[in-house]
Amino acid sequence: MSLNVITVNVGAPSPARARRQLEWIAARPEDIFVLTETKATPGSQLLAEACAAANYSVTFPTHDPGELGVMIISKVTTTPDPLTGALSYLPARAAGVIIATSEGPLRVLGAYVPSRDATLDKTERKKRWIEGFHTALEATDSSVPVLLLGDLNVLEPGHQPEHHQQFAPFEYDFYRALTDRHGLRDAFRHLNPDRIEHSWARRPDLGYRYDHAHCSAQLLALLHGCDYVHQTRDVLADGSRLTDHSGLAVRLAMTARAPLLPSDPATAAPSEPGLEPTLF
């Protein structure tokens, strides 16, 4: 048996796109879904409402109007991780749950790091959030191993192709600090030292590996897979896509101790157009 976790940027979906994402979730084998770029809008609320109605465990921090964040939905029982709400600045951009496994408790954390442009305001915003995230990780540190997933909006040093003119030293420093400061290893790069993959692309020949999974060193021996799921970017029959990001699926050699019995969240979603969910 294995524990399967996937992260994907859902792109602040409209209700119509959220319904297609629910169908995708229902068909996936993963136990836990870390969804990034959620928002306090009907589409993200629909994801949370439908999954809760289908007996998933749903962690959906309060998002301020217009702000983006993280949602974690799970087919296994979860308890809140102290990271949820530990940030004082843009707190919805990080969340976490703890699950019981055959190897002991596991912290599953999600993060959606702010993007930026060339303006000073956006740059300072990203710097401030990153430092707050470092502080929150240190404040909630424990002996329980961590699996951190999400759209980190940073690239690894040596990324191919190079995008050095678009990224500042502090952004590469954030990626390095996940290992040097917090002891978390890049799971994909651990298993694939030389493989080039991109989870988002401005155009086919200009890709970026924005979406990451990092884990505590004690999980490396249990890490049996870390692969990008590019089908989420495929163009559908109506010309739309589930999202413009690839998913990233992680497989660990452990078993969840308290599985739930969820139903199909796509059929649990409200059917009336314009009906807004009420649980979150």
DSSP letters, 73-84, are: EESB--EE-TTT
Side-by-side strand order, sheet with 146-151:
79-80, 94-101, 104-112, 146-151, 211-216, 184-186
Mean pLDDT estimate for the chain: 94
> Residue 244: what pLDDT?
96
Q: Poorest-confidence range of 24-38, 239-253, 260-274?
A: 260-274
In which band, very low, low, confident or very high, does the pLDDT at 107 lie, cut at 50, 70 and 90? very high
Whole-number Å distance between alpha carbons of 214 and 216: 7
Rg value, the chain, Cα: 18
Give the chain's domain count: 1
The predicted pLDDT at position 272 comes to 54
State the Cα–Cα distance between residues 95 and 13, nearest whole angstrom. 19
Asked if residue 95 belongs to a domain, the reply is yes
% of the chain exceeding 90 in pLDDT: 89
Does residue 279 sit within a domain? no
* Domain contains 8: yes
- Determine the structural domain holding residue 178 and report its residue range: 3-268
Q: What is the pLDDT of residues 194-221, one digit of tens each?
A: 999 999 998 878 899 999 999 999 999 9
CATH number of the domain that 197 lies in?
3.60.10.10
Residue 273, domain member (yes or no): no
In a domain, 278, yes or no: no
Least confident of 47-61, 108-122, 174-188, 263-277: 263-277
Question: Residues with Cβ < 8 Å from 107, sequence gap 6 or more?
Answer: 81, 83, 96, 97, 98, 142, 144, 145, 146, 147
Helix, strand, coil abundance in the chain, percent, nearest 5: 30, 30, 40
Residue with tokens 């896509």: 241
Residue 266 has pLDDT above 80, yes or no: yes
Q: Is pLDDT above 60 for 189?
A: yes
pLDDT digits (tens, 9 = 90+) for 131-147: 999 999 999 999 999 99
Phi and psi angles of residue 165, each rounded to the nearest 5 degrees, phi first: -70, -15
Asked if residue 74 has pLDDT above 90, the reply is yes
- Whole-number pLDDT of residue 237: 81
Residue 153 lies in a domain: yes
Distance CA(265)–CA(67), nearest Å, equals 25
Please indicate, yes or no, if residue 277 is contained in any of the structural domains.
no
